[in-house]
Copies of this chain bind each other. A is one copy, B any other.
């Protein structure tokens, strides 16, 4: 039962007693074929165990219905959610997207991109890896392959971006913290080479300035965007002479790390130190205590990105508008008021 030479369109033709062109027409669901003939052909297709050779077809057609999704960290549930959103819309368009992981490695990303191009993808949705060089996508551009960036953007590049309103989200979070009476705030995690980082930090800073927090009372600690990074950030912060009483974290993973580290020191997240996350991954709600986080509607952004992609392909353009998704702060239990401020300004809300 070794692999006999695979059946082609000609085998079908012979089997059904028609020409290869007729078979091709049937395969494409053309209405030009008499129903009975089509039936005969379809039966033959079954009989010979035919599998369509898309490679051969693309050789003539030059556009391939394959869409690639290049993701920088598959183990972050955040990106999995993004992927799921996209898949929803591609599925209903009869497209199976292929996902590839770059593991936050620009070299790997290069390989992945190359491979996808060789495959002749119709379009690419990419969340670029950290440290992507500006030229990394030129190849794609000159080849005229539509690309959209999801969640992350590159400094210069004119590739359309689908991302949440990072600035606003961070502003909201910081304002919430300040409203709770906190006066010494921190921003934990992330590194300045990410545009997202700058946006989020920018929003945070603006809130602090506007709402009267002195420059020297805001602490910024860069770090890995992971649980481990969060742990490290907290350690650093608490070692300061006048440590902050609340922190906005670059993302939820960092926030989880911070909560963990607090617990390890016998501090209660929320009561002893307020923490806010960013992204609002599903686990945020289920954490203990539940994490206050900036919700960005990840799956929704995924859908959006997919729609934009589809439209670009259809109108065979390589340009599209950016889309900045709405965000909102989901208040849960991880940020009570500043303890030391309890007897001062805003005195409500601490019922239980």
Binds B, one of A73-81, A215-223, A235-243: A73-81
Q: Which of B3, B83, B116, B227 contacts A101 (CB 8 A)?
A: B83
Q: Are the CB atoms of B118 and A286 closer together than 8 Å?
A: no
Find chain B residues with CB under 8 A from A3 CB.
143-144, 316
Q: Are the CB atoms of B117 and A101 closer together than 8 Å?
A: no
Binds B, one of A29-37, A54-62, A330-338: A54-62
If A59-B55, A84-B74, A118-B53 touch, whether A144 touches B112 (CB-CB below 8 Å) is no
Q: Are the CB atoms of A100 and B103 closer together than 8 Å?
A: no
CA distance A53 to B120 in the complex (A): 7
CA distance A77 to B79 in the complex (A): 11
Identify which of residues 115-165 in chain A touch chain B, using a CB-to-CB cut-off of 8 Å. Answer: 115-120, 139, 142-144
CA distance A287 to B74 in the complex (A): 21
Q: Are the CB atoms of A54 and B55 closer together than 8 Å?
A: yes
Identify which of residues 255-269 in chain A touch chain B, using a CB-to-CB cut-off of 8 Å. Answer: 256, 260, 263
A96 CB within 8 Å of chain B: yes
Q: Are the CB atoms of A96 and B100 closer together than 8 Å?
A: yes
> Which residue numbers of A lie inside 8 Å of B, CB to CB?
2-3, 6, 49, 51-56, 58-59, 64, 66, 74-75, 77, 80-81, 83-84, 87, 91, 96-101, 103, 108, 111-112, 115-120, 139, 142-144, 227, 256, 260, 263, 282-283, 286, 288, 316
Question: 5 closest A-B pairs (Cβ-Cβ)?
Answer: A3-B144, A55-B55, A98-B98, A96-B115, A99-B99
Identify 16 residue pairs between A and B in the complex whose beta-carbon atoms are under 8 Å apart, listed by A's number: A51-B117, A52-B118, A53-B120, A54-B120, A55-B120, A56-B59, A74-B99, A75-B81, A87-B103, A96-B100, A96-B112, A98-B99, A99-B100, A256-B286, A283-B283, A288-B288
